[in-house]
């Protein structure tokens, strides 16, 4: 009701002052009335005493002189407030009466005819009028009574009014002054309370709990101020504690978030983080009707590095990979480690083909420089798979699976490539599955065949053959090993195939020997997976015995990466195989590890220069340089050098010039089945080849 404490207090104080003043006024008027009454009685008494003295003389005789009586009474007519007066004899009978000036105002009968005998003298009030009875003569010898009726109420009222009129202005001034002074002191008293209230309001608005109320005198408000100061101090302490606890909580939460969302080795976001992010991004892209690109990549032969050079080296490589990729990305691109050697890149917005290809190329370039680790220079390949959200209908797992598919395409194509997912890959994926599922059947149904590609020396003489598997599939027709070998490797079916190839070569060995009446070697390709199976040597040994094979007719080819990925096992295996008499060739040399120091530690006989260098001999200075260097290196290490993929005589000329021992390629012969061996010449003439090539 009241917004300020001042108003009710002001009202209370004013009312109190007003009430006190009224009380004083009322008391004064009452007193005045009392005094007035006393004065009137005194006057009436004095007047009556005079009259009774005169009346006593008149009533002295036997006969009453009424005229004299009337004259005496007539004195009363001069008085304003006398209503009437009567004289009675000693028996109370009325002798004479007179009306005073105030007779008109009388309310009661002025006089009675008689008075009770022995009426006592004195004053009483009758109908507001003052009636007085006086004895005439001594009470012992009473001669009569005098009764005087006086009007007092009206004169009193008049007098009171007069008094009131006189006193009122003064009273009013005093009242105002008193109220004014009271209010002044009241507001002075309340001032500290107001300042305290303002202070608390300030604290409330600024939330600055370091503020303090300045306390002056030692009154209740100062005590209240002190209490508020104490309270603020407590709040401040509590707030500090709260703040510190909050900080700790925030830090803990950040640590938890980091642990939950970031990979501890590389510091990159982890699978959990990127999946959450991707889910949101996909929803956003779908709403905005935009596309989104996902890039998968993993390192070629990383497992081999881990196995041969140790996990610490593997970890160092992963850290550097994260570093290299992060520095080449633009702001807004996201790179994360999914686990193992698998990474993911989420490029920021721009999904144009040019931008994607540009980024893919930059990632590949980031891997072109060898990794310098612990004195080794390691070249690590990378395979990229790229998928778009629109091709996956914005479904996260579909998108991931598409990118994965594209990445495996890159792996199948060879190192340092990227593949952008296209829907037909799903179809080819189905083909892949169907191939994987029919390998076992293919062996029992004799669907595999061995094709042989001759290897020749510098004089054009066949010194051996490379056994290359072919699959004539009942539904898909001829399937090349480049397609089904990786599938077999992934599906764990490669050992069965390798065993079949070795046995088949053993079976066909006698036919081969009949065709070529000289020493030669049949080269059998081994996969990295074969080397991880410890039983391989025993089964080879058993097959050689079973088919009566001279191990000196056999060579095993293994790729540089397969050898190094299983370094310890490979070394042991090839040493045993070599001791038995077989030769060992390092296939596809020059593409993988650029550190050559291991060459002195492994037991091999031949280096096979990778086809890509031969293909580029005419066009690439670098390939010519690498080829020359590899040949030179092989010579220094007393290794035989073999070049594959020779398709024209210029390539052969070049290789011959540089002292390459053996060559193999379509220029001489494509791989052929045994029954076509009749088409092979006894010797490949250079001149004839040049002409046929022309």
Site residues, ligand C2E (CB under 6 A): 453, 467-469, 480-482, 485, 498, 501, 525-527, 557, 587-588, 644-647, 664-666, 671
CB of 557 to Ca ion, least distance (A): 4
CB of 272 to ligand C2E, least distance (A): 38
Burial class (CB in 10 A: 0-12, 13-18, 19+), 613: buried
CB of 576 to ligand C2E, least distance (A): 19
Judged by CB under 5 A, the stretch of 246-254, 570-578, 583-591, 635-643 that binds Ca ion is 583-591
Task: By CB under 5 A, tell whether 530 contacts Ca ion.
Answer: no
101 vs 533 by CB, closer to ligand C2E: 533
Instruction: Tell me which DSSP letter residue 121 carries.
Output: P
Half-sphere exposure of 34 (CA within 13 A, CB side): 6
CB of 589 to Ca ion, least distance (A): 8
Binding string, 537-566, against Ca ion, x = CB under 5 A? Answer: --------------------x---------
Token output for 646 = 């020779």
Which entry of ligand C2E, Ca ion, none binds 124, CB below 5 to 8 A by partner kind?
Answer: none
Task: By CB under 5 A, tell whether 525 contacts Ca ion.
Answer: yes
150 vs 606 by CB, closer to ligand C2E: 606
Token output for 628 = 């020359």
86 vs 481 by CB, closer to ligand C2E: 481
269 by DSSP, 3-state: which?
strand
CB of 676 to Ca ion, least distance (A): 20
Instruction: Evaluate the CA torsion angle 250, 251, 256, 262 in order and state its sign.
Output: positive
Task: By CB under 5 A, tell whether 298 contacts Ca ion.
Answer: no
337 vs 608 by CB, closer to Ca ion: 608
Give the Cα separation of 266 and 314 in Å (integer): 12
Give the Cα separation of 405 and 237 in Å (integer): 61
86 vs 645 by CB, closer to ligand C2E: 645
335 vs 531 by CB, closer to ligand C2E: 531
Which entry of ligand C2E, Ca ion, none binds 645, CB below 5 to 8 A by partner kind?
Answer: ligand C2E
Token output for 82 = 């006398």
Binding string, 473-512, against Ca ion, x = CB under 5 A? Answer: ----------------------------------------
Instruction: Tell me which DSSP letter residue 600 carries.
Output: G
Task: By CB under 5 A, tell whether 588 contacts Ca ion.
Answer: yes
420 vs 526 by CB, closer to ligand C2E: 526
Q: Which helix (H) or strand (E) holds 544?
A: helix 536-546
Give the Cα separation of 52 and 46 in Å (integer): 10
Phi, psi of 691 (to 5 degrees): -65, -45
Burial class (CB in 10 A: 0-12, 13-18, 19+), 466: buried
Question: Do residues 604 and 633 touch, judged by C-beta distance below 8 A?
Answer: no
CB of 486 to Ca ion, least distance (A): 14
Which entry of Ca ion, ligand C2E, none binds 301, CB below 5 to 8 A by partner kind?
Answer: none
359 vs 630 by CB, closer to ligand C2E: 630
Which entry of ligand C2E, Ca ion, none binds 192, CB below 5 to 8 A by partner kind?
Answer: none
CB of 413 to Ca ion, least distance (A): 15
Question: Do residues 384 and 410 touch, judged by C-beta distance below 8 A?
Answer: yes
Q: What is the DSSP string of 323-363?
A: HHHHHHSPTT-EEEEEETTEEEEE--S---HHHHHHHHHHH
């Amino acid at each position: 009701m009241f917004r300020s404490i001042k108003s009710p207090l002001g009202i209370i104080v004013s009312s109190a002052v007003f009430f006190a003043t009224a009380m004083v006024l009322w008391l004064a008027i009452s007193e005045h009335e009392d005094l007035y009454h006393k004065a009137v009685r005194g006057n009436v008494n004095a007047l009556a005493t005079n009259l009774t003295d005169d009346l006593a003389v008149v009533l002295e005789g036997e006969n009453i002189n009424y005229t004299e009586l009337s004259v005496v009474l007539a004195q009363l007519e001069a008085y304003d407030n006398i209503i009437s007066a009567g004289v009675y004899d000693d028996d109370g009978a009325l002798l004479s009466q007179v009306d005073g000036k105030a007779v008109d105002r009388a309310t009661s009968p002025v006089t009675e005819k008689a008075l009770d005998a022995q009426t006592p003298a004195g004053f009483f009030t009758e109908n507001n009028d003052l009636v007085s009875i006086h004895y005439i003569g001594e009470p012992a010898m009473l001669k009569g009574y005098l009764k005087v009726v006086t009007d007092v109420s009206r004169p009193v009222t008049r007098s009171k009014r007069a008094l009131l009129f006189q006193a009122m202005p003064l009273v009013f001034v005093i009242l105002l002054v008193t109220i004014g002074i009271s209010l002044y002191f009241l507001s002075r008293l309340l001032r500290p309370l107001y300042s305290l209230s303002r202070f608390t309001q300030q604290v409330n608005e600024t939330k600055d709990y370091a503020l303090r109320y300045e306390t002056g005198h030692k009154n209740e408000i100062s005590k209240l101020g002190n209490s508020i100061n104490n309270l603020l101090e407590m709040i401040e302490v509590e707030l500090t504690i709260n703040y510190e606890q909050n900080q700790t909580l925030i830090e803990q939460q950040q640590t938890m978030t980091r642990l939950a969302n970031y990979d501890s080795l590389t510091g990159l976001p982890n699978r959990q983080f990127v999946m959450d992010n991707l889910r949101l991004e996909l929803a956003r892209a779908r709403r905005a009707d935009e596309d989104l690109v996902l890039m998968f990549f993993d390192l070629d032969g990383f497992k081999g590095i881990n196995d041969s050079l140790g996990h610490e080296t593997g970890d160092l490589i992963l850290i550097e990979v994260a570093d290299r990729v992060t520095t080449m990305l633009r702001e807004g691109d996201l790179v994360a480690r999914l686990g193992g050697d698998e990474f993911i890149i989420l490029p920021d917005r721009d999904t144009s083909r040019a931008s994607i290809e540009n980024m893919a190329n930059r990632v590949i370039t980031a891997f072109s420089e060898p990794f310098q680790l612990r004195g080794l220079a390691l070249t690590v390949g990378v395979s990229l798979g790229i998928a778009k959200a629109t091709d996956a209908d914005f479904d996260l797992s579909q998108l991931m699976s598409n990118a994965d598919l594209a990445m495996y395409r890159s792996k199948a194509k060879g190192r340092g490539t990227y593949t952008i997912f296209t829907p037909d890959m799903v179809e080819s994926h189905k083909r892949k599955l169907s191939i994987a599922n029919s390998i076992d059947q293919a062996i029992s149904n004799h669907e595999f065949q061995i094709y042989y590609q001759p290897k020749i020396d510098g004089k054009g003489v066949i010194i051996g053959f490379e056994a290359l598997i072919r699959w004539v599939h009942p539904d898909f027709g001829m399937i090349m090993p480049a397609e089904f070998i990786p599938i077999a490797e992934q599906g764990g079916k490669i050992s069965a195939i390798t065993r079949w190839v070795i046995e088949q070569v053993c079976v066909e060995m006698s036919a081969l020997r009949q065709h070529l009446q000289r020493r030669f070697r049949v080269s059998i390709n081994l996969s990295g997976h074969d080397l991880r199976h410890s039983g391989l040597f025993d089964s080879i040994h058993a097959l050689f015995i079973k088919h009566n094979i001279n191990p000196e007719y056999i060579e095993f080819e293994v790729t540089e990466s397969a050898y190094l990925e299983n370094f310890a096992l490979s070394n042991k295996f090839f040493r045993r195989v070599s001791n038995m008499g077989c030769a060992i060739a390092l296939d596809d040399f020059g593409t993988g590890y650029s550190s050559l120091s291991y060459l002195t530690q492994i037991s091999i006989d031949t280096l096979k220069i990778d086809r890509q260098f031969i293909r580029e001999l005419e066009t690439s200075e670098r390939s010519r340089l690498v080829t020359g260097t590899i040949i030179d290196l092989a010579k220094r290490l007393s290794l035989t050098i073999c070049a594959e993929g020779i398709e024209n005589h210029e390539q052969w000329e070049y290789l011959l010039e540089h002292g390459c021992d053996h060559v193999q390629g379509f220029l001489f012969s494509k791989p052929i089945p045994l029954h076509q061996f009749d088409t092979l010449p006894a010797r490949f003439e250079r001149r004839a080849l040049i002409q046929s090539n022309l």
